[in-house]
Chains A and B, each alone.
Chain A
């Protein structure tokens, strides 16, 4: 029985660390939704591009890892700007659902383009971080790093939104999209900044994920849906809610996977999500 408990504790702590990554994934998406009112269905595919960027700059061109990370963050941020300017902007006035679907088209495009350009082989950057041992429990060091970076990223975004002039403008426009232009704020500039920031966060997530997972063109599908669920569960656009929801989800996946098979952990998490939607359709922290 005591051994059982230690493994359970290990699962819970690993779930906590996984929650950090999910929270970071949800952060960028929530930021974009909160400000622009658009869900980037292709968000996970942008992370996939970021992961390939790290792989190619680091393993093929031999850049140092930190430079490769900066390149990935910068590239995905630029992609975010391009996505907004050329894909989202033309449909901003159309039916809301068109904005969701148009990024779904981008999902197909990025996934297939990655297959075309990089092939379907699994790639690994070959950087192994050590396992951490605590008593009889083992934790992945890369998960711990990811957790801490995710936490730092969230604090950074929070401070940016609260303390800077631009951040204040972003918060203002997310509260009333119609009035802010009258106050002399150029909404498109704010949207582009937000897109760049959201893209940058996706790039940051890519840097952390690349330490733990192999890269392949369809990897986005394996954590894309879970990211949307986290955001919706927390209340779309609600960053604190997303943060809490990420940890709830991660516990379901980790502890559920401990008692059953890992897929069942996901199934439980999704079913829990559907259940909560009926109880609080606006998300756990969403206002009425």
Chain B
């Protein structure tokens, strides 16, 4: 039943923009799927005990590298994308290798990666002659003559963007599934429980951790690229730094970081919460949505650490369990 439900959701989502949906709901849907992609990237490693507060760095690298390459070198985002991924992979390696080699775990790992996301934000601000500093920057438009530009990855049509991020969302889920079914996932789970014991039975702790960190960083970086190209505006505060890192962590936790559709539920939930409050209360009450959001996060971590979907699945399993056990002997 759960599998059927999953396909119904996917097909319904694929068909959603074909209905006479307004531009605004479509925009929300695109943003939601885009964030899910990034949250999924974080959760791939987050659920294995590698809690990083540095994913804002990878997101920011993705967003800024493509825009800078396009604005200053005229490099198409299609080439900017691999460049951004290469930079993110390099940074992930430079920070990850020593961290894992020297067993920086738990609080320390979270705080070292937090420093990374702050460094990224500060460098973007400090290079204000190139990046526009805190004011942010827009990619030079290629839409003077044409309606869209494939070369510049600029599509005014929301429908195109929807299918792009939809494909990425599916790709994110696919990566999640692949990781989930791999031996490496089991090994990493063992490592997160007891690192020394895992190493003693021959697991290459550094290599396994580095691998998962790379995958996670690349997914997040790709999400950053898409975000910059879709929004056509980047700002250091909204794509890097501690704020965006925490947003990713909480999006994944709210939905449930241990289940595949958790980040999806988390992103949908937080977006609906923010938009719902805005519609109900208007624009004037600035900060109310984030206040409630913060309060809910606290409550979630205390009472529902497995997230909405994680808790729901657990409840379903609990209800299903007695019947299967009763059925087994017969």
The A interface, classified by DSSP as helix, strand, loop or mixed, is helix
Contact residues on B (Cβ < 8 Å of other chain), bracket: 35 or more
Contact residues on A (Cβ < 8 Å of other chain), bracket: 35 or more
Contact of A112 among B108, B119, B249, B291 (CB under 8 A): B291
For residue B126, CB closer than 8 A to chain A, the reply is yes
**CB distance B111 to A115 under 8 Å?**
no
B127's nearest neighbour on chain A, judged by CB, is A263
For residue A109, CB closer than 8 A to chain B, the reply is yes
> What 1/0 mask marks residues of chain B from 35 to 52 whose CB sits below 8 Å from any chain A CB?
000000000000001010
> What 1/0 mask marks residues of chain A from 227 to 248 whose CB sits below 8 Å from any chain B CB?
0110010001000000000000
The B interface, classified by DSSP as helix, strand, loop or mixed, is helix
Which of B1-9, B96-104, B218-226, B227-235 interfaces with chain A? B96-104
For residue B115, CB closer than 8 A to chain A, the reply is yes
For residue A39, CB closer than 8 A to chain B, the reply is yes
Tell me the residues in window 164-223 of chain B with beta carbons closer than 8 Å to chain A beta carbons.
Answer: none
Give the CA-CA distance A232 to B108 in the complex, in Å.
Answer: 7
Inter-chain contacts of B249 with A (CB < 8 A): 101, 104
Which of B148-156, B280-288, B310-318 interfaces with chain A? B280-288
| Minimum Cβ distance to chain B for residue A232 (Å) | 5
A260's nearest neighbour on chain B, judged by CB, is B126
Which of A46-54, A90-98, A134-142, A174-182 interfaces with chain B? A90-98
| Minimum Cβ distance to chain A for residue B146 (Å) | 38
**CB distance B102 to A112 under 8 Å?**
no
28 A-B residue pairs with Cβ-Cβ distance under 8 Å, sorted by A, are: A96-B106, A97-B49, A101-B250, A101-B253, A102-B302, A105-B250, A105-B294, A105-B298, A105-B300, A108-B294, A109-B295, A110-B294, A111-B290, A112-B294, A113-B294, A116-B285, A116-B287, A120-B286, A221-B242, A225-B118, A228-B114, A236-B107, A261-B126, A277-B99, A277-B104, A277-B108, A281-B104, A281-B108
With A105-B250, A116-B287 already in contact, 7 other A-B pairs whose C-beta atoms are closer than 8 Å: A39-B107, A106-B294, A108-B297, A115-B286, A236-B107, A271-B119, A278-B99
Q: Which 9 A-B pairs have the closest CB atoms?
A: A109-B294, A108-B294, A115-B287, A112-B290, A105-B297, A263-B126, A278-B98, A105-B298, A116-B287
Residues of chain A having any CB pair with chain B under 8 Å: 39, 87, 90-91, 94-98, 100-102, 104-116, 119-120, 217, 221, 224-225, 228-229, 232, 236, 261, 263-264, 266-267, 270-271, 273-274, 277-278, 281
